[in-house]
Amino acid sequence: MKPWEVWNWKFPDADEHPAVILATEDRVQLKPRVSVILCSSQRALRKPEIHEVILDEADGLDWPTLCKCDLVYAAEKKDLKRHRGSVTSERRRAIAERVIRGLGLAGL
């Protein structure tokens, strides 16, 4: 398991969805929980909102998928199932920017 990988996880109050790991290498290796963001399990049929990024087959998903960057969850690593792939480097930057904006950290 590594930062920026995409795994499936059963989100609270939701079914299983793709989850992008947002963590340092040390966190992933040493801690039982990692931060993740939710990606829809449905095909994206609209343009992303300001807090979203579209990932696709290059990132390990089955089709263009909206990932919501304005809410970060803590997932037990043992509960992450089915490794899907890894987010491409260009989309990592887009996710990081939207997480910063979505969590209100940009103004610091």
Q: What is the CATH number of domain 5-102?
A: 2.30.30.110
Which positions ≥6 away from 8 have C-beta within 8 Å? Answer: 16, 17, 18, 19, 80, 81, 82, 84
Given this model, what pLDDT does residue 41 score?
Answer: 87
Q: In the chain, where are the structural domains located?
A: 5-102
The total number of residues written for the chain in this structure? 108
Instruction: Tell me the two tokens of residue 106.
Output: 């940009």
CA–CA gap between residue 60 and residue 62 (Å, rounded): 7
* One pLDDT digit (tens) per residue for the chain, 108 residues: 999 999 999 999 888 999 999 999 999 999 999 999 999 989 999 999 999 999 999 999 999 999 999 999 999 999 999 999 999 999 999 999 999 998 888 776
- Output helix, strand, coil percentages for the chain, rounded to the nearest 5: 25, 40, 35
Site of tokens 């995409």: 6
Going edge to edge, which strands form the sheet with 81-86?
52-55, 65-76, 33-39, 16-22, 5-10, 81-86
Given this model, what pLDDT does residue 14 score?
Answer: 84
